[in-house]
Amino acid sequence: MNEPKDSKALSQVRFNRFASRYVTSATHAQGPELERLVGIVNPQPDWVMLDVATGGGHTALRFAPLVKRIVAMDITPAMLDVAKAFIIATGVKNVIFRLADAEDLPFSDEIFDLVTCRIAPHHFPDAFRFVTDSARVLKPGGMLLVQDHALPEDEAAARYIDAFERMRDPSHNRAFSESEWVGMFCAAGLSVEHTEQIVKRHEFKPWVEQQACTPQVVAQLVQTIEKAPKAVIEWMQPNDFGTPGAWFVNHHILIAGRLG
């Protein structure tokens, strides 16, 4: 299958192809950090919220009972369709759906109390543009809340881990360290009120199956871990690679910033 080289087009092609898998993905659907996200921002019943790159719709669904209205948006039509079907089937009625680009939000200034984006910015060609446009659509005092892959501050290790992720999913563009996320928030005029990192364990076999990796790609991923430098091993903690029980961890950052 020939895939486009443009990163946004590539994301659309791949997520159209694998959309239904992200509704049932344990990482996206069952992560305990969903409860942490709620606790971090303390959503209010009169809030209007935007969930950027909603994916399977899990963040929008969790926040729906807690706020007045949510716009759940995604750049990928099939992903938005499965999220819509998933959320509507639960009986939730205060979520509306919008096909849109995270880096070019089609909304007026200062209309949302909360913007969320969970496990998606590593796909964006320009994550800082997403942050600045999110700040634009926030009301004064509104909050941007992001969860995404986090990389070590060691630049060489960070790029090695990025390459590993991109090998499995070519639509992976770039992840960031905690200091880089803080820098983007501050540069966009957001005062960072909370950061934390969580460690998530991934069983290697279902992780590669989610992206329909070929045996050749699987072998390359195993070899990449076997040759990884010490800093990468310490960050990813790979175990039993080359066996059916292989697993590793990655780190996610939870970061919240307030406008004004």
SS3 235: helix
Task: Please determine, for residue 159, whether its predicted confidence score (pLDDT) is greater than 70.
Answer: yes
d(CA 204, CA 28): 16
pLDDT on residue 52: 98
Residue ranges with strand state E in 106-155: 112-118, 138-151
The proportion of the chain whose per-residue pLDDT surpasses 90, expressed as a percent, equals: 86
pLDDT on residue 33: 87
Q: Any idea which fold 7-201+250-259 has? A: Rossmann fold (3.40.50)
Read off the pLDDT of residues 190-242 as tens digits, 9 standing for 90 and up.
Answer: 999 999 999 999 999 999 999 999 999 999 999 999 999 999 999 999 999 98
The residue extents of the domains of the chain are 7-201+250-259
- Residue 32's pLDDT band, with cuts at 50, 70 and 90, is confident
Task: Please determine, for residue 170, whether its predicted confidence score (pLDDT) is greater than 80.
Answer: yes
pTM: 0.89
pLDDT on residue 6: 61
Encode 38-67: b = buried (16+ Cβ within 10 Å), e = exposed.
eebbebeeebbbbbbbbbbbbbbbbbbebb
Read off the pLDDT of residues 58-103 as tens digits, 9 standing for 90 and up.
Answer: 999 999 999 999 999 999 999 999 999 999 999 999 999 999 999 9
Task: Please determine, for residue 156, whether its predicted confidence score (pLDDT) is greater than 90.
Answer: yes
Nearest alpha carbon to residue 132 among 151, 105, 113: 105
Mean pLDDT of the chain: 91
Mean pLDDT computed over 9-27:
52
Task: Please determine, for residue 29, whether its predicted confidence score (pLDDT) is greater than 50.
Answer: no
Task: Please determine, for residue 11, whether its predicted confidence score (pLDDT) is greater than 80.
Answer: no
- Residue 28's pLDDT band, with cuts at 50, 70 and 90, is very low
Could you give the angle at which helices 215-226 and 155-168 cross, rounded to 10 degrees?
160
Read off the pLDDT of residues 98-154 as tens digits, 9 standing for 90 and up.
Answer: 999 999 999 999 999 999 999 999 999 999 999 999 999 999 999 999 999 999 999
Read off the pLDDT of residues 177-196 as tens digits, 9 standing for 90 and up.
Answer: 999 999 999 999 999 999 99
Task: Please determine, for residue 37, whether its predicted confidence score (pLDDT) is greater than 70.
Answer: yes
SS3 50: strand
d(CA 126, CA 174): 9
Task: Please determine, for residue 14, whether its predicted confidence score (pLDDT) is greater than 50.
Answer: no
Task: Please determine, for residue 38, whether its predicted confidence score (pLDDT) is greater than 70.
Answer: yes
| HSE of 108, CA atoms in CB hemisphere, 13 A | 2
